[in-house]
Chains A and B, each alone.
Chain A
Amino acid sequence: MTTLIPITPEIVAEHGLSPDEYARIQELLKRDPNLVELGIFSAMWSEHCSYKSSRPHLKTLPTEGPRVIQGPGENAGVVDIGDGLAAVFKIESHNHPSFIEPYQGAATGVGGIMRDIFTMGARPIASLNSLRFGAPEHEKTCYLLNGVVKGIADYGNCMGVPTVGGDIYFDACYNGNILVNAFCLGLAKADRIFLGSASGVGNALLYVGSKTGRDGIHGASMASAEFDDATEEKRPTVQVGDPFTEKLLLEACLEIMKKDWVVGVQDMGAAGLSSSSFEMAERAGMGMELDLDAVPRREEGMNAYELMLSESQERMLFVVAKGHEPEALDIFRKWDLDVAVIGRVTDDGIFRAKESGVEVVNLPIETVVTGALKCDRPTQKPAYLAEVGTLDLASREVPADCGGALKQLLASPTIASKQFVYEQYDHMVRLNTLVLPGSDAAVLRVPETNKALALSVDCNPRYGYLDPYRGAQIAVAEACRNVVCAGAEPIGVTNCLNFGNPENPEIMWQFQEAVRGLGDLCRFLDIPVVSGNVSLYNETKGEAIYPTPTIAVVGLMEDRSLHCTQGFKQAGQVIGLLGSTLEELGGSEYQKLFWNECRGQPPQLDSQVEFDVHRLCLDLIRQRLILSAHDCSEGGLAVALVESCITGPKALGAAIELNGDPRADALLFGESQSRIVISFAEEALHGIESRAKKAGVPFAVLGLTGGQEFQVKINRKEFINENILTLEDIWKNSLSRYGNRVA
């Protein structure tokens, strides 16, 4: 039996626990743990569950605000949006599993984040996904892209939750570690939020969902260990998703949550039954008693160790008030789900589990949940920064053919339209999507109100590589700017911090700087961080990914009719720019594509300027002075202008005149922040000018929409003159050409 195996140092090491950590377990328990207990410690003290490296830093984030109903610490964050409703949202990573098995890894990532949302009592209404792949020419990239996208599509589509946006970057730093970050947003009644808390002695513990199998045993530990060649060889069991069961689980949960005898609920994610039961009991300061024989299982002969640590998907743990078990069972059976009463809440703070009548686990709950050794990991400014920090533009030439350069940029899979991807996602189901994917932010109406929510997710990893502090700030700024361009006011942030190995002080420094940047800008803009997730150890053979603090922002619009999109609406309208263009090429896509380097300083970010631009843009949209707004991001002004030309009701050309000192390529392709391309009817010019002046935001007229050519003059000299339909074909179809090629 698993409990009789003596614990050797080898077994401890296999469980990813250090000798110090094991000594601490012995000290806390005043005895040796048995194997099941060791497994539980190993999972609960893994980086993934305990946040031992990151917690001290995360504590510094601003998490409060008048709208915040629930900040970090629960399954998802909750923000009040008025009318008695709340937005419930979170983003989470499924990076390691998706590298091993892209389809199932991404699918179960989507399933997991949706469970986080509906466990809170919210109906999921929209998903986003943020993806990072290796260099396009890397042999695995195309396969991984297709597998991940299909996994997200099949799961989300079957669930009937629209996938309305996301972002995708390609860079060699992800060759050995792709990132799959999934975001989900739900709506709930503000006074009917469910928490993962197991209170009330004698209350019943209900297991609901799929049967337990031997899936991903030690998955949580795997997600916390660096990759090496052997990991791929071993091909550990990955979890397999069943979206159909999850759809039933969703409907059943929302049905049962109308009852007032549901005490608490939590989904079984990483570390499965262990983490859900321990965390629920800990939050309520209670104990728990489990009968493992009652746990529904897929295979015969599963032991306590496997039952406690399996990561089978589509499972939840409910606590219902004593006496209501029969009603609860009826509801779940109506939905054809496996359900069983597997235990009770006790009051002594101890977790006990029995297998065939024999006690196999007896652990003090608080010790397990909060006892992990806090790591105050050392930090050190990375040596590479000194090498890459400078960029001598004088020795790099402006391309002779800027039109050709523009075409190359438009074809880059990082910049090209993501239509190939989002066409595979149902982005319309539930009839809320007012602005479909393809604009800066998706906009969803809030049913039964006049409101709408705008969503965007962002993070440029190259900026983070050159300066993690500013990289994180820009990620926040850009995600907010996207939401503002749609006409919404940012009200909440969730984040997924993807980094390398925290045991390396240089990585830990990156982490610390990014968290500081994220916190500083959110504080400045007064937007609370209400949920998040940390994914560390994203490195292979010592090669870490670039710091990737992915930021998702939710924005609120009181009047949904005031939403705005990025495309130019018709010919003969004036094109303008809010914000100013500096000579900044460090970390740009242009730099990477033409000089094959990532160096210098990332674009500057002035928090006040950013804030002012947001205010002004929202003001112009609300005054109905502008007809389109589009954030300038990768590829700079030229790419933003072309995108606006192409993404309106029909492709339009434009005649643009730029003036200024920066060199031509910086004016065209530099990625200066806090810039928004707008278009408007000529009559509006005056109003816009005076409002910009009052707001202290630089504003310039750039040209006019219309014709078949995309034409740019700089200081009166023509630099670009291309047929807009040619540009449209390149931008719209490059990614599908890439994704549809075989091998």
Chain B
Amino acid sequence: MKCGIVVFPGSNCDHDCYHILKHILQLDTHWIWHKDEALNSFDFIVLPGGFSYGDYLRPGAIARFSPIMKSVIAYANQGGRVLGICNGFQILVESGLLPGVLMDNAGQRFICKDLTLRVENNDTPFTALCEPGTVLKIPINHGQGRYFTDDDTLKRLQDNGQIVFRYCDTEGNTSDEANPNGSLDHIAGVVNATKNVMGMMPHPERCADPLWPNVDGQMIFKSLIESSLAHS
């Protein structure tokens, strides 16, 4: 299985994703430099977290015009699997591959901490190995993660099962207290209509190395691997 990690100037979770995919999950993992234009044949690609272009103007706004993004968009439009984590999610919404926007956290502060998410839909390549309703413990690390979209889009996301994760408490209940950033409808991750592009604010790569007790993040990468195997 072959996968790629796109490196934008300012990406900083690229190494972490690489470590998990290459050393923990033993995939044939490649770097993709943002100035490259062509994209090789990958089973999936990851847009990692960080501060591409310093998050200047709006997070993801400048990165979406990197030379590589044309190919990423084409790849996604042909059904290629793309996982955007945190800043990667922000780039995906800015580029129009995913609906909505990610705004300043309601509390106006950056937040780095462990929290819990509920899997809302397991009928995606990113969550195939989870039971619906599963509660995953995965850390967040962002200043701009408040998901927002207009009412029509929200309705569409709800109706099509495009909301993949919601913030919840440890028992799996959603509430304003369990929502760290004021996201609309407690949204922590969404997929596109064809379910091959997913963005999520929490960082699964931060809880996927068995050196730490929590490896909930592996569920997402392993789902991707499994469904890619089935796919090919």
- B113 near A423 with CB under 8 A, answer yes
How far, in whole Å, are A150 and B143 apart by their CA atoms in the complex?
11
- Considering only residues 346-376 of chain A, those with a C-beta below 8 Å from chain B are none
User: Nearest CB to that of A420 among chain B residues?
Assistant: B109
Known contacts A158-B55, A160-B13, A336-B9; A429 and B141 CB within 8 A of each other: yes
0/1 per residue, B118-149, Cβ < 8 Å to A?
00000000000000000000010101000000
Assess whether B154 is interfacial by the CB under 8 Å rule.
Answer: no
Query: Cα distance A143–B26 when bound, in Å?
Result: 48
Query: B110 contacts A424, CB within 8 Å?
Result: yes
Interface locus among A242-250, A388-396, A546-554: A242-250
- Which chain B residues lie closer than 8 Å to A248 at the CB level? 9-10
A428 near B: Cβ within 8 Å? yes
Chain B window 35-75, contacts with chain A (Cβ cutoff 8 Å), 1 for yes, 0 for no: 00000000000000011011110000000000000000000
Interface residues of A in 321-358 (CB under 8 A from B): 335-336
Q: Which residues of A contact B113 (CB under 8 A)?
A: 423
CB-CB < 8 A to B12: which residues of A?
Answer: 158-160, 247, 429
Contact, CB under 8 Å: A242 / B16? no
User: Smallest Cβ distance from B24 to chain A, in angstroms?
Assistant: 10
- A427 touches B (CB below 8 Å): yes
Complex contacts, B143 vs chain A, CB 8 Å: 157
B112 at the interface (CB under 8 A from A): yes
Give the distance in Å from the alpha carbon of A395 to the alpha carbon of B175 in the complex.
53
With A and B bound together, what is the CA distance between A159 and B16 in angstroms? 14
**Interface flag for B15 (CB, 8 Å):** yes
Report the minimal beta-carbon distance from B59 to chain A, rounded to whole angstroms: 11
Check A244 against B10 for contact (C-beta < 8 Å).
yes
Please determine whether B10 and A247 come into contact, CB atoms closer than 8 angstroms: yes
A154 at the interface (CB under 8 A from B): yes
Chain B residues positioned under 8 Å from A418 (CB to CB): none
B143 to chain A, nearest CB (A): 8
Closest A-chain residue to B212, C-beta based? A434
Residues of chain A contacted by B9 (CB below 8 angstroms): 244, 247-248, 335-336
User: Which positions 162-215 of chain B face chain A at CB distance < 8 Å?
Assistant: 203, 205-206, 209, 211-212
Q: Which of A584-607 contact B (CB under 8 A)?
A: none
Interface size class of A (residues with CB under 8 A): 20 to 34
Task: Indicate if A138 sits at the interface (CB-CB under 8 A).
Answer: no
Inter-chain contacts of B50 with A (CB < 8 A) = 160
Shortest CB–CB separation between residue B2 and chain A, in angstroms? 22
Q: Give the docked Cα–Cα distance between A429 and B87 (Å).
A: 13
B19 within 8 A of A: yes
A489 to chain B, nearest CB (A): 21
With known contacts A158-B51, A242-B54, A431–B110 Cβ distance under 8 A: no
Asked if A265 is at the interface of the complex by the 8 Å CB criterion, the answer is: no
Q: Are B15 and A430 in contact (CB under 8 A)?
A: yes
How would residues 156 to 184 of chain A score, 1 for a CB under 8 Å from any chain B CB and 0 otherwise? 01111000000000000000000000000
Q: Is the CB–CB distance between B112 and A243 below 8 Å? A: no
Please report the C-alpha to C-alpha distance between residue A336 and residue B211 in the assembled complex, in whole angstroms: 37
Point out which of A158, A243, A428, A445 has the most chain B C-beta atoms below 10 A from its C-beta. A428
Q: How far is the CB of A569 from chain B (nearest CB, A)?
A: 12
Complex: chain A residue closest to B51, CB-CB: A158
Residues of A close to B205: CB separation below 8 A: 431
Residues of chain B contacted by A428 (CB below 8 angstroms): 112, 139, 141, 203, 206
A154 nearest CB neighbor, chain B only: B110
CB of B16 within 8 A of CB of A430, answer yes
CB distance from A270 to the nearest CB of B (A): 24
Interface centre among B109, B143, B203 (most CB of A within 10 A): B109
Q: Does A568 contact B (CB under 8 A)?
A: no
**How many angstroms between the C-alpha atoms of A248 and B53 in the bound complex?**
10
Partner of B112, one of A159, A242, A424: A424
CB of B27 within 8 Å of the partner chain: no
**The one of A150, A247, A424, A425 that contacts B51, using a Cβ cutoff of 8 Å:** A247
- B111 within 8 Å of A (CB atoms): yes
Tell whether, in the assembled complex, residue B111 and residue A424 are in contact, meaning their CB atoms are under 8 Å apart: yes
**CA distance in complex: A602, B50 (Å):** 45
Interface centre among A242, A245, A423, A427 (most CB of B within 10 A): A423
B54 touches A243 (CB 8 A): yes
B13 touches A427 (CB 8 A): no
CA distance A425 to B141 in the complex (A): 9
* Known contacts A157-B51, A158-B55, A244-B54: A423-B112 contact under CB 8 Å: yes
Residues of B within 8 A of A154 (CB): 110
Query: Is the beta-carbon distance between B111 and A423 smaller than 8 angstroms?
Result: yes
Q: Is A426 an interface residue (CB 8 A)?
A: yes
Q: Whole-angstrom distance between the alpha carbons of A243 and B206 in the complex?
A: 23
Q: Closest approach, in angstroms, between the C-beta of B31 and any C-beta of chain A? A: 12
**Residues of the B chain whose Cβ atoms lie less than 8 Å from the Cβ of A244:** 9-10, 51, 53-54, 56
**Cβ–Cβ < 8 Å partners of A159 in chain B:** 12
Instruction: State A223–B15 Cα separation when bound (angstroms).
Output: 38
A600 and B109 alpha carbons, distance in the complex (Å): 41
CA distance A160 to B16 in the complex (A): 11
- Residue A556, interface by CB 8 Å: no
A618 to chain B, nearest CB (A): 22
Check A431–B19 contact: CB distance below 8 A.
Answer: yes
Considering the chains assembled together, what is the distance between the CA atoms of A426 and B143 in angstroms? 10
How far apart are the CA atoms of A242 and B15 in the complex, in Å?
A: 22
Interface string of A236-264 (1 = CB under 8 A from B): 00000011110110000000000000000
Chain A residues numbered 424-473 whose CB sits less than 8 Å from any CB in chain B? 424-431, 434, 445
Query: In the bound complex, do residue A429 and residue B16 qualify as a contact, i.e. CB atoms below 8 Å apart?
Result: yes
Given the known A-B contacts A158-B55, A244-B54, A247-B51, are A431 and B206 also in contact in the complex, defined by CB atoms under 8 Å? Answer: yes
A427, A428, A429, A431 pick with most chain B CB within 10 angstroms: A431
A428 CA to B209 CA, complexed, in Å? 13
A229 to B: closest C-beta gap in Å: 32
A153 at the interface (CB under 8 A from B): yes
Interface contacts beyond A429-B13, A431-B16: sample of 16 additional A-B pairs, CB < 8 Å, sorted by A:
A153-B110, A160-B12, A244-B53, A247-B12, A247-B51, A248-B9, A336-B9, A422-B112, A424-B111, A426-B110, A427-B112, A428-B203, A428-B206, A429-B16, A434-B211, A434-B212
Could you name 19 residue pairs across A and B whose Cβ atoms are closer than 8 Å? A153-B110, A157-B112, A159-B12, A244-B54, A247-B9, A247-B51, A248-B10, A422-B112, A423-B112, A424-B110, A424-B111, A428-B112, A428-B141, A429-B13, A429-B16, A430-B16, A431-B16, A431-B19, A431-B209
Binding site for A on B (CB under 8 A): 9-10, 12-13, 15-16, 19, 50-51, 53-56, 109-113, 139, 141, 143, 203, 205-206, 209, 211-212
Which residues does A use to contact B, with CB under 8 Å? Answer: 150, 153-154, 157-160, 242-245, 247-248, 335-336, 422-431, 434, 445
